[in-house]
Amino acid sequence: MPPLAMTPSTPDRPLLPTLRRFLPYLWPAGEPMLRARIVGAMLLVLASKLTQVYLIAYSLKWAVDRMAQGQRGAGWTVMALVAGYAAARFSTTLFDNMRNAVFERVGQDATRRLAARVFRHLHQLSLRFHLERRTGAVTKVVERGTKSIDTMLYFLLFNIAPTVLELALVLNIFRGSFGWPLVVATAAIVVVYIWFTRMVTDWRNALRTRMNDLDTGAVAHAVDSLLNFETVKYFGAEEREARRYEDAVSAYARAATKSENSLAWLNVGQGFITNAMMGGGMAFVAWGWSRGRFSPGDVVFVSTLLTQLFRPLDLLGMVYRTIRQGAIDMGAMFDLVDTPAEINDAADAQPLEVRSGHVRFENVRFGYDADREILKGVTLDVAAGTTVAVVGSSGAGKSTLARLMYRFYDLTGGRITIDGQDIAEVSQASLRAAIGIVPQDTVLFNDTIGYNIAYGREGAGADEIARAAEGAAIAGFIERQSDGYATRVGERGLKLSGGEKQRVAIARTLVKNPPILILDEATSALDSRTEADILDTLEAVERGRTTIVIAHRLSTVVHADKIVVLDGGRITEAGTHAELLRLGGLYAEMWTRQAEQRQEGEPLAAE
């Protein structure tokens, strides 16, 4: 069984650099209302902590002291103190929930802005990047990274900062009321607690990183397998895919078990430290009471303060783990953001001005890898308004020409011009706006037919969609559907036949209405009858446009104004269909072989 492809593990990275990069989302520039919400939330945090440390602890201490003195006449005072204690506890709940309500929009806005930035950057990356990455793995990285934003904001503002403030207040009270021994002991135990939590959490992070990698790999394989549902069925590989997925999930389950078991050790150690601190502090005050230094209320006072301090400290381990994991998840997402775009506009790039649509390839050289050149000095002139066909054997570089026209890759030599303008010196957006393509493998969005046709140009109206459908000869089929243009096409358009998908692709291009058209083996996946029908449609679409037709079925390009034969990365023949037949070269050989296959009823082999 082939090994399960995995995304590389995200290396452990320093926490502070990731947090510094994250801070702009905590204090967004140009957003005064969001900043006001953050300030308001922090004021509510301050009010909650002051209430907890002073009103709750002191009201309970004074009530116990009054009761311990045996002053029965002070009953109303004690009841008032108890009522104040209850009111203070309620006020902390009120402040905390008001804080959450005020801050919620800040967290959601930070998530929105970062998620939108990452998604936009992913679309700016090169085709090479997306061909080398699994879509499921990339989306999982983005999902985990964006989900960590709100959590990290919450913990940084409402757990760590308030805990530090509360610790400072408690230590100050201990110094004034009980002396330095309790202050030093409390501070020392807190330091030990933090050290233990960090040490064990770092160990757990290694386990969790492994678990995340296995989770990402399992999800990526599941998405890849389901996207290739038909291929799995063709080869009867359902059980093979199920076993492979089960192996991936089993590996994840083993890693998850180790991670969760490590959590038990962390909780036990934290519980021992915090309870030792609680017992020692109360014992110290009880010892002082036995010598007349402290009152019975002081025991309750210390217990209340330490209990309130323990509550966020008990969460400190989870907070540190969450922030640490959030830094890992966000770091992986920032790695995507930091991935440089392979294709960039020139600093002085201007919009492409298409006057007639004259396309020229001038000594174009290109290879996907440095050691394997695909195009070896291709020079091709496509006059405005003409149709030029490019034919040749598989691997000759025909479809590469289309990718280079769209500037999915930069050339290693030569240049491509449109009306004399080097496409490397114009903006990519204007270049791609001027070119339309009907690809060999039409992939549709899992939406309606109308949506997929309208995708050709943002803002296309219903009349334009209907005219494009008429032009692509698919309007009749759409009208026969019960939902019309609202008919769903399914994942990648699988509810439609090959011919129907091709016609939707043609209609989408008609909506775009580009001056330059590329037909990249647009009929190679169709049967002869469907191909003949679509050829008539394509020939109508070509009229008045500069068209480059890439094909291996020579019968589909006999109408072209010029046909060039690409072989071994070079143009070896050029001319009209009749001229190339008279030449008796590679084109004539290919034509004869395909004609024999048609006569014998065999499927045409891809050249």
- Helix then strand count (H, E) for the chain reads 20, 10
Residue 8: what pLDDT? 39
DSSP-assigned beta bridge partners for residue 369: 372
Phi-psi region of 363 (alpha: psi -120 to 50; beta: other; left: phi over 0): left
Phi, psi (rounded to 5 degrees) for 77: -65, -45
Q: Is the pLDDT of residue 531 over 60?
A: yes
Residue 605: what pLDDT? 44
pLDDT above 90 coverage of the chain, percent: 16
> CA dist 235 to 13, 148, 228, 258, Å?
43, 41, 11, 37
Q: Is the pLDDT of residue 84 over 90?
A: no
Residue 575: what pLDDT? 93
Residue 55 burial (CB count, 10 A)? 17
The two structure tokens encoding residue 281? 């502090």
Quick: pLDDT tens for 418-464.
999 999 999 988 998 899 888 877 788 888 999 999 988 888 889 99
Contact 387, 542 (CB under 8 A): yes
Residue 579: what pLDDT? 92
- Residue 121 CA to its chain's centroid (Å): 9
> How many residues are present in the chain?
607
Residue 218 burial (CB count, 10 A)? 24
Which residues does 171 contact at the CB level (< 8 Å), separation at least 6? 183, 186, 187
Residue 322: what pLDDT? 78
**Which of 474, 530, 462 has its CA nearest to residue 505?**
474
What are the contacts of 525-532 at 24+ separation with CB within 8 A?
Answer: 525/440, 525/441, 525/498, 526/498, 526/499, 526/502, 527/499, 530/497, 530/498, 530/499, 531/556
Q: How confident is the model at residue 580 (pLDDT cuts 50, 70, 90)?
A: very high
Indicate the Cα dihedral angle 492, 136, 122, 22, nearest 10°.
150
Highest mean pLDDT among 137-146, 287-296, 467-476: 467-476
Integer Cα distance of 556 and 537 in angstroms: 12
Least confident window among 148-152, 314-318, 365-369? 314-318
E-only strand ranges, 358-515: 359-366, 375-382, 387-392, 413-418, 421-422, 435-438
Which residues does 594 contact at the CB level (< 8 Å), separation at least 6? 553, 554, 555, 604, 607
Least confident window among 255-259, 301-305, 549-553, 588-592? 255-259
Q: Which residue has the higher pLDDT, 197 or 530?
A: 197
Least confident window among 36-40, 460-464, 496-500, 556-560? 496-500
Q: Which residue has the higher pLDDT, 467 or 110?
A: 467
Residue 131: what pLDDT? 65
Q: Is the pLDDT of residue 162 over 90?
A: no
Torsion sign, CA atoms 63, 67, 71, 72: positive
DSSP-assigned beta bridge partners for residue 302: none
Residue 30: what pLDDT? 78
Q: Is the pLDDT of residue 205 over 80?
A: no
Phi, psi (rounded to 5 degrees) for 303: -60, -45
Contact 574, 587 (CB under 8 A): no
Least confident window among 80-89, 228-237, 470-479, 515-524? 228-237
Average pLDDT over residues 589-606: 69
Quick: pLDDT tens for 378-416.
999 999 999 999 998 877 888 889 889 988 888 989 999
Residue 3: what pLDDT? 34
Residue 607: what pLDDT? 44
Q: Is the pLDDT of residue 70 over 70?
A: no
The two structure tokens encoding residue 370? 């440095």
Q: How confident is the model at residue 4 (pLDDT cuts 50, 70, 90)?
A: very low
**Which of 77, 88, 60, 87 has its CA nearest to residue 299?**
60
Q: Is the pLDDT of residue 604 over 60?
A: no
Q: Is the pLDDT of residue 44 over 60?
A: yes
Mean pLDDT of the chain: 82
Residue 71: what pLDDT? 62
Residue 414: what pLDDT? 92
Q: Which residue has the higher pLDDT, 442 or 10?
A: 442
Helix (H) or strand (E) holding 156: none
Contact 508, 456 (CB under 8 A): yes
Integer Cα distance of 149 and 330 in angstroms: 8
Phi-psi region of 373 (alpha: psi -120 to 50; beta: other; left: phi over 0): beta
Residue 1: what pLDDT? 32
Quick: pLDDT tens for 323-364.
777 777 887 888 887 778 778 888 888 999 999 999 999 999
